[in-house]
């Protein structure tokens, strides 16, 4: 998978030795710039935009997000709790499956409760009725599967054959749609506008009979709206038309676009050697700190990589997993212990997916404002964080 992000921006001037290692560094100024783009599109199209916590849930910057967007979308009870505690605005919650004993609290915390299947929605009827009797004012939505594959990698494509995400579009019936107040679909992954248009062409025809019934239509995330070459004017026109055609409130819930190119992951070379090519071990682990490198797979961009100069070095992490390999890079520094390197566009997904396999240290979290050069360590992790998640 080829990532289309990786613009160093102000990080091109950042001194990597200002932070400990490993460390995530998030640029508040770039975050604001991304949010301003999203807010401008929201205002121009007269829609609502929610930030997807599944991609970026650094809640210390929740006040910044609240200045620009209409709220957040969450993936279950714990994210809904986080949203209610720290974030402003609406909360839309979708889960592939809710536990019955958690659903009532989800209803209490959320403005929109979105189900993955009509069967689960039916089983939850008594819980929903009770939650509303207690003053709950949430809408009930259904996630649909557009059955329109658009992704490069099947595991990241909700419309891939046999997908468990969303109710198949071709199975919708009037009986199923009874009581459904909103429709949700999420079909993109790091993509431009055209895949959204193609998805909507299929969805439009299938849900048109219920346009008078639906309060809202949530078109999900995966839109790389804040990337410089995204077709924003076309998106705005499209969203205006969708709102007019459907009579429903239109939502987008970008995740990556909120934090695109707003963070780096700083690491240190610990050891080097030779095994048919130069090899180096860093304190950054693909499997612990950037699992999408292995899952996708993809090659993250390196800050100041020397394009076409010198011999590539294979960088890997300190874990025992043989496949804990980040990639082959032409380093901007000597391949020697103690040298710092950084990978670009690591604020989204990498931060929320970190783990302590092998007891590998979690990266600390820093907030930098490239506009003022203010730098603050927001969070650091120690042995107790590793110990206390075990028993």
Read off the pLDDT of each residue in 51-70 and give the average, rounded to a whole number: 98
With 0-12 / 13-18 / 19 or more C-beta atoms within 10 angstroms meaning exposed / middle / buried, residue 44 is middle
Structural domain of 375: 9-25+262-387
Domain annotation covers residue 30: no
Check whether residue 300 and residue 380 sit in a common domain: yes
Q: How far is CA 358 from CA 8, 86, 151, 361, 362, in A?
A: 31, 32, 33, 9, 11
Q: Is the peptide bond before 304 cis (omega within 30 degrees of 0)?
A: no
Give the 3-state secondary structure of residue 27: strand
Q: Is the pLDDT of residue 274 over 70?
A: yes
- pLDDT tens for 196-239 read 999 999 999 999 999 999 999 999 999 899 999 999 999 999 99
- Exposure string of 251-280, with b = 16+ CB inside 10 Å and e = fewer, is bbbbbbbbbbbbbbbbbbbbebeeeeebbb
Domain edge (last residue) among 210, 234, 259: 259
Domain edge (last residue) among 236, 259, 282: 259
Check whether residue 350 and residue 249 sit in a common domain: no
Check whether residue 156 and residue 215 sit in a common domain: yes
DSSP string for 261-324 = T-EEEEEEEEEEEESSSEEEEES--HHHH-THHHHTT--PPBTT--TT-S--EEEE-SSS-TT-
Q: Which residues are annotated as a binding site?
A: 256, 292
Q: How many whole angstroms separate alpha carbon 15 and alpha carbon 385?
A: 28
Check whether residue 272 and residue 378 sit in a common domain: yes
Contacts of 323 (CB under 8 A, 6+ apart): 286, 287, 294
Check whether residue 230 and residue 278 sit in a common domain: no
Give 89's pLDDT tier (boundaries 50, 70, 90): very high
Q: Characterize the bridge pairing of strands 263-274 and 325-329.
A: unpaired
Q: What confidence score (pLDDT) does residue 1 get?
A: 62
Indicate the pTM of the whole model.
0.96
- Exposure string of 353-389, with b = 16+ CB inside 10 Å and e = fewer, is ebebebebbbbbbbbbbbeeeeeeeeeeeeeeebeee
Q: Is the pLDDT of residue 4 over 70?
A: no
- pLDDT tens for 350-378 read 999 999 999 999 999 999 999 999 999 99
Give 79's pLDDT tier (boundaries 50, 70, 90): very high
Q: Is the pLDDT of residue 309 over 80?
A: no
Q: Which residues are annotated as a binding site for substrate?
A: 256, 292
Check whether residue 247 and residue 296 sit in a common domain: no
The count of structural domains within the chain is 2
With 0-12 / 13-18 / 19 or more C-beta atoms within 10 angstroms meaning exposed / middle / buried, residue 229 is exposed
Helical pair 232-246 and 28-45, crossing angle rounded to 10 deg: 40
Round the average pLDDT of the chain to a whole number and report it.
Answer: 96
Residue 238 belongs to a domain with what CATH number? 3.20.20.10
Check whether residue 142 and residue 241 sit in a common domain: yes
Check whether residue 255 and residue 178 sit in a common domain: yes
Give 152's pLDDT tier (boundaries 50, 70, 90): confident
Structure tokens at 365: 């979290």
Among 2-11, 88-97, 174-183, the least confident range: 2-11
With 0-12 / 13-18 / 19 or more C-beta atoms within 10 angstroms meaning exposed / middle / buried, residue 90 is middle
Domain annotation covers residue 37: no
Give 5's pLDDT tier (boundaries 50, 70, 90): low
Q: Is the pLDDT of residue 243 over 90?
A: yes
Check whether residue 186 and residue 124 sit in a common domain: yes
Q: How many whole angstroms separate alpha carbon 171 and alpha carbon 294?
A: 35
């Amino acid at each position: 998978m080829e990532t289309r992000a990786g613009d160093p921006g102000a990080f091109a001037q950042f001194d990597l030795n200002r932070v400990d290692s490993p460390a995530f560094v998030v640029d508040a100024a770039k975050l604001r710039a991304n949010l301003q783009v999203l807010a401008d599109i929201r205002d121009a199209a007269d829609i609502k935009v929610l930030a997807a916590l599944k991609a970026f849930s650094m809640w210390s910057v929740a006040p910044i997000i609240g200045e620009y967007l209409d709220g957040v979308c969450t993936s279950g009870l714990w994210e809904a709790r986080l949203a209610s505690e720290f974030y402003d605005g609406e909360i839309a919650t979708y889960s592939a499956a809710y536990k019955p004993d958690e659903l009532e609290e989800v209803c209490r915390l959320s403005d929109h409760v979105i189900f993955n299947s009509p069967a689960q929605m039916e089983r939850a009827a008594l819980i929903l009725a009770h939650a509303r009797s207690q003053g709950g004012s949430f809408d009930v939505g259904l996630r649909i599967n557009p059955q329109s594959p658009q992704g490069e990698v099947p595991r990241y494509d909700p419309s891939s054959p046999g997908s468990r995400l969303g109710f198949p579009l071709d199975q919708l019936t009037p009986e199923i749609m009874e009581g459904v107040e909103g429709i949700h679909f999420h079909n993109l992954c790091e993509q431009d506008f055209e895949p959204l248009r193609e998805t909507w062409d299929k969805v439009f025809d299938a849900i048109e009979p219920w346009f008078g019934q639906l309060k809202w239509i949530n078109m999900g995330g995966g839109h790389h709206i804040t990337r410089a070459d995204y077709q924003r004017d076309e998106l705005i026109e499209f969203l205006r038309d969708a709102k007019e055609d459907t009579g429903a409130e239109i939502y987008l819930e970008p995740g990556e676009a909120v934090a695109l190119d707003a963070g780096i992951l700083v690491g240190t070379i610990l050891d080097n050697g030779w095994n048919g090519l130069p090899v180096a071990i860093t304190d950054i682990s693909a499997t612990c700190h950037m699992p999408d490198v292995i899952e996708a797979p993809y090659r993250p961009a390196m800050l100041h990589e020397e394009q076409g100069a010198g011999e590539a070095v294979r960088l890997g992490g300190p874990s025992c997993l043989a496949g804990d390999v980040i990639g082959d890079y032409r380093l901007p520094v000597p391949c020697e212990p103690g040298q710092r390197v950084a990978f670009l566009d690591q604020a989204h997904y990498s931060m929320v997916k970190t783990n302590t396999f092998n007891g590998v240290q979690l990266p600390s979290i820093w907030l930098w404002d490239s506009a003022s050069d203010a730098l603050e360590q927001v969070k650091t992790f120690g042995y107790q964080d590793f110990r206390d998640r075990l028993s």
